Structure 1
Amino acid sequence: MRVVSIGECMIELSGRDGATWRQGFAGDTLNTLWYLRALLPADAVTDYVSAFGDDPFSAEQIAFLKQNGIGTAHSPVIEGKAPGLYAITLDGTGERSFTYWRGDAAARRLADDPAALAASIDGADLIYFSGITLAIIDEAARGHLFDALAQAAEAGATIAFDPNYRPRLWPSPETARAAIERGCMASAIVLPTFDDEQALFGDAMPEDTVGRIGIGGARTVIVKRGGDDALVWQDGTVRSVAPPEPAAPVDTTGAGDSFNGAFLAAHLSGIGAVGATLFAHRVAARVIGRHGALLPADALADLRPDGGTTAFS
């Protein structure tokens, strides 16, 4: 099994204590791959496809990924570039806000070279990307990405997509709508968040989101609603799936990303959409009980398919 995620790995500053911060690496598509890697069998191959700089922080990123069992396939190294940076601040309820420095990040060049991109995703069983992946690259690069995804799908890859709408990354809502609609149509599995879809498309209810995306050809649509029930649509059947137990958030950073990773890991194991959604709720609840986007892999050991009795249940 080979899983590929495409997007931007950033320097993350979190866990602020006065003037002191904890530095890590994160980003929406990396976070999702992190949880896939933690939950998939040990012999699964995982690659993070992006573009990296030639600076010390980029070298640390690549080493960090390698140390955690994640390769970088044929991702280019761009001379003179460096990673983006973001800082997380929290209110008293665990809700977070972000400050970004990413305008000239290396990852914006991830799809400039169509041959390198195609080589990076060739042979993948699952390919995951997001609306942020689309937002940080230019129109020509989006074309390269969609061409590569179409070729991979024809070769048998399952394409999964989280629209993950972030208004500040787009020149206009119209541009975002066009790109995200194309992302949904390119994908067999779509994992939107209702608040994002309501903001961009004006959906009144999660059922509107499911209907709109389902028309585009997706086989499975899972509409996330924070700690509330998720709406699960598969092959025309809709179910509402509640979290199995309430969660007390410490830091909601990475909640949706970990949900996506857990859902996709369960899906790859053959679990149906409802069971995979219940499992995803459980993993996300554990993740929001800690600071930062990436929970250590050993903290999920009992949920692995080769680890405790609760695996994918």
Structure 2
Amino acid sequence: MPERPTLVCAGNVTLDVAVAPDGRRTTAVGGDAVFASLAARLAGGEPQILAPLGNDVPDAVADVVRLAGTPPEDLPARDLPTVLDVVRYRADGSRTWELVHGERHFEEMSPGPADVTPAMLAADGVLLSGMALAAQLALSSWLRPRTSATVYLDPQEDYVPGNERALLEAVAACDVFLPSEVEALALARVDDVEDAIRCFLEVVPVVVVKRAEHGCLVATRRGRTPVVVPAERVVPTDSTGAGDAFCGAFAVEHLRSGDPVAAARAASAVARVAVSGVGVDALADAVRSMESEVAR
């Protein structure tokens, strides 16, 4: 297994406005592909972002994309504005997302099969993050017959209702399924997370259910009883990209070791870093520190 796995992080590059329960607003570079790629670097992988860039890319976005492992000029270009999200947090920890430019724009700013290069098909792994539904479904079905890469699927809870059948087909086209607990219950249409895991193991070999501060559950077809991997405790500053960071780090360690429980532990440690700053700031600082150590 590769010591420094190559991983394609497919998703979006965004600007995120986080609104706290008390109304405080913070704008930061975001996007699932960016969080995942920074986390993958921190976990010792060699990631590449697959996400379109708009026609108004701020320098801060370009700098973070480069730090995450991909020259901005290598990304697909769209003659559209950058994706802008408003994430509103409630006191109970739940949140809602608003796509300022709308769903159609988000779909056009999500990657598709035409954006995939031959080098990406040769990568050790591909992580399909929670992009637009049509794009995620198209990539999951298109990739399977064209690559021997391990494919990881991280869905998005907003589009689960009404699309269960299509999403289960996407799950079946992948090797590792990484839903949140909310997504798992909604997709399986059950009330118990272990029932949901059993459902998914019928179509995918490895299931990892993310449970925020409660850690995650890891199950495989060989060991169907879920293993509880606790979260690393921290008072979060911004949890927007925690799940994306978890998935990026998980994929790298899983590709390296083949051990999903070890991968979940490594991912939990990286997710802890992700939530300790605003947007991608904490991950970016950690990657810069890592680069400085290597350069010494």
TM-score (norm 2): 0.80
Which residue matches 2:238? 251
Which residue matches 1:135? 133
User: Which amino acid in 2 is paired with 1:2?
Assistant: T
**Structure 1 unaligned runs (5+)?**
308-313
Q: Per-residue displacement from partner, 1:281-308 (whole Å, max 9, x unpaired)?
A: 233233333333552344368999x98x
Contact preservation (8 Å) 2:215, 2:231: no
Within-5 A mapping of 1:19-58: 22-41=26-45, 44=46, 46-57=47-58
Which stretch shows the higher mean deviation, 25-34 or 115-124?
Answer: 115-124
Contact preservation (8 Å) 2:15, 2:29: yes
| Structure 2 SS opposite 1:241 | strand
Separation (CA, whole Å) in 1 of partners of 2:71 and 2:190? 38
Deviation at 1:49, TM superposition (A): 1.2
Separation (CA, whole Å) in 2 of partners of 1:109 and 1:121? 19
Contact preservation (8 Å) 1:39, 1:300: no
Q: Per-residue displacement from partner, 1:225-273 (whole Å, max 9, x unpaired)?
A: 2222422112331232241654333332222222212222221221622
Which residue matches 1:282? 269
Within-5 A mapping of 1:233-272: 233-237=219-223, 238-243=225-230, 245-270=232-257, 272=259
User: Which amino acid in 2 is paired with 1:194?
Assistant: E
Instruction: Return closer, same or farther for 1:248/1:204 CA change in 2, 3 Å cut-off.
Output: same
Matched, 1:182 2:183: no
Q: Per-residue displacement from partner, 1:170-223 (whole Å, max 9, x unpaired)?
A: 7xx32x21332122111111111111222343222121221111111x221111
Identity of aligned residues (%): 22
Which residue matches 1:232? 218
Deviation at 1:150, TM superposition (A): 1.4
User: Which amino acid in 2 is paired with 1:279?
Assistant: A
Which residue matches 1:310? none
Deviation at 1:97, TM superposition (A): 4.1
Instruction: Return closer, same or farther for 1:302/1:66 CA change in 2, 3 Å cut-off.
Output: closer
Which stretch shows the higher mean deviation, 260-269 or 157-166?
Answer: 260-269
Q: Per-residue displacement from partner, 1:14-66 (whole Å, max 9, x unpaired)?
A: 477x998543321223322221122225xx2x221122322344x76445312
Matched, 1:77 2:77: yes
Instruction: Return closer, same or farther for 1:187/1:134 CA change in 2, 3 Å cut-off.
Output: farther
| Structure 2 SS opposite 1:47 | strand
User: Which amino acid in 2 is paired with 1:223?
Assistant: V
Instruction: Return closer, same or farther for 1:256/1:294 CA change in 2, 3 Å cut-off.
Output: farther
**Structure 2 unaligned runs (5+)?**
none
| Structure 2 SS opposite 1:166 | helix
Which stretch shows the higher mean deviation, 244-253 or 219-228?
Answer: 244-253
Separation (CA, whole Å) in 2 of partners of 1:20 and 1:194? 28
Separation (CA, whole Å) in 2 of partners of 1:229 and 1:14? 23
Which residue matches 1:151? 145
Q: Which has the higher contact order (CA 8 A, sep 6+)?
A: 2
Separation (CA, whole Å) in 2 of partners of 1:110 and 1:123? 21
